[in-house]
Amino acid sequence: MERKCYGKINLSLDSLYKRDDGYHEIDTIMTRISLFDKLKIEKNNTNEIKIKTNSQILSKENIENNLIYKAWAILKDRVKSCGVDVFLEKNIPIAAGLAGGSTNCAEMILALNELWNLNLCDDEIFKIGKSLGADIPFFFLKKSARAQGIGEILSPFDINLDMKILLVNDGTSISSNFVYKRLKDYGNIETEKIIEGLKSSDKNIVKYFSNVMEDVVYENFPHLYKIKNRLENLGAAKALLSGSGASIFAVFFEEEKINYALNEIKNDYKFVERVNLIDD
């Protein structure tokens, strides 16, 4: 069995306040992009999970910290024979604000539900996903969505604006915990206005795209701010940090401009790729 695990970008991200449980109350717009990892899963007769990957970074980590393993661990007692071989082809940059680990986990849950004939209902799938990570339930929707709460309260909607996206990652790795610990309260992004603009194909709405995490990230990683500025100077209507970084995406409307920008920077950073929004 093979699953595609699509990454995401945040078209806006606001932090409203820090909750009593230590989490931040957020308000964000997420949409999936055409960049994906591949997850290959086959049964084995060992009652254990064996994970292999092309990623040198992930292959050195403790397997029990991997969200793919955690998805398997939470479901394995529901079947008599739970052994699986997993190969993860990693294409999404790691610790990059693109939710690579979360999308891998979501597709692992869906894959095991199918492979083991668990017949889990949508509510149960969402509950399992949420228990493993706040942004995991988003990937079950297969739709663009506004995410509130800690990211688990989802309101799907259609994006009707044709945006051309250039995605850049220079290899900088940023822990979301690092950013959240330094994050202030904001609550000043006009999320509802952005959603209405995306629905109504209003090109001017991209000016309102905003991510409050940029304050923390650019203060601690100023070289990333230079990438953002460079993309806008190359003709992007907007360049923005995705999630807690370090990936930056640039929005274009003209084919000529995005192709020019791509040619200008394609050899300058570790990862430069043109991607599409797949849920519009």
Residue 84 pLDDT more than 70?
A: yes
Distance between CA 65 and CA 85 in Å, rounded? 17
Express each pLDDT in 106-133 by its tens digit: 999 999 999 999 999 999 999 999 999 9
Share of the chain above pLDDT 70, in %: 100
CB 198 within 8 A of CB 161: yes
Distance between CA 136 and CA 119 in Å, rounded? 19
Sequence-ordered strand ranges (E) for 139-270: 145-149, 153-156, 164-169, 238-241, 248-252
Residue 272's identity, in one-letter code, is V
Structural domains in the chain, CATH included, are 2-155 (3.30.230.10), 158-276 (3.30.70.890)
Residue 22 pLDDT more than 90?
A: no
Distance between CA 98 and CA 83 in Å, rounded? 29
Q: CA 34, 166, 11 angle in degrees (round to 5)?
A: 75
Q: Taking all residues of the chain, what is their mean pLDDT, rounded to a whole number?
A: 95
Share of the chain above pLDDT 90, in %: 89
The H or E element containing residue 66 is none
Tell me what pLDDT residue 58 has. Answer: 87
How many CA atoms does the CB half-sphere of 93 hold within 13 Å?
25
60 vs 139 pLDDT, higher one: 139
Residue among 155, 158, 159 at smallest CA distance from 146: 155
Instruction: State the residue for tokens 């078209």.
Output: 11
Residue 70 pLDDT more than 90?
A: yes
Residues 6+ apart with CB under 8 A from 117: none
Residues carrying an active site annotation:
8, 135
Lowest-pLDDT choice from 57-66, 218-227, 258-267:
57-66
Residue 271's identity, in one-letter code, is F
Tell me what pLDDT residue 257 has. Answer: 98
Distance between CA 232 and CA 238 in Å, rounded? 6
Query: If pLDDT is split at 50, 70 and 90, which confidence band does 23 have?
Result: confident
Instruction: State the residue for tokens 């800690």.
Output: 150
Express each pLDDT in 133-190 by its tens digit: 999 999 999 999 999 999 999 999 999 999 999 999 999 999 989 999 999 878 889 9
Tell me what pLDDT residue 185 has. Answer: 77
Residue among 6, 228, 221, 200 at smallest CA distance from 99: 6
Express each pLDDT in 85-105 by its tens digit: 999 999 999 989 999 999 999
- What residues does 249 pair with on adjacent strands? 167, 240
CB 122 within 8 A of CB 142: no
Tell me what pLDDT residue 60 has. Answer: 81
Specify burial of residue 55 (Cβ count, 10 A radius: 0-12, 13-18, 19+): middle
Residue 280 pLDDT more than 70?
A: no
CB 5 within 8 A of CB 106: yes
Distance between CA 205 and CA 194 in Å, rounded? 6
- Mean pLDDT confidence for 27-35: 98
Verify cis geometry, omega within 30 degrees of 0, for the bond prior to 246. Answer: yes
Neighbours of 85 (CB within 10 A): 15
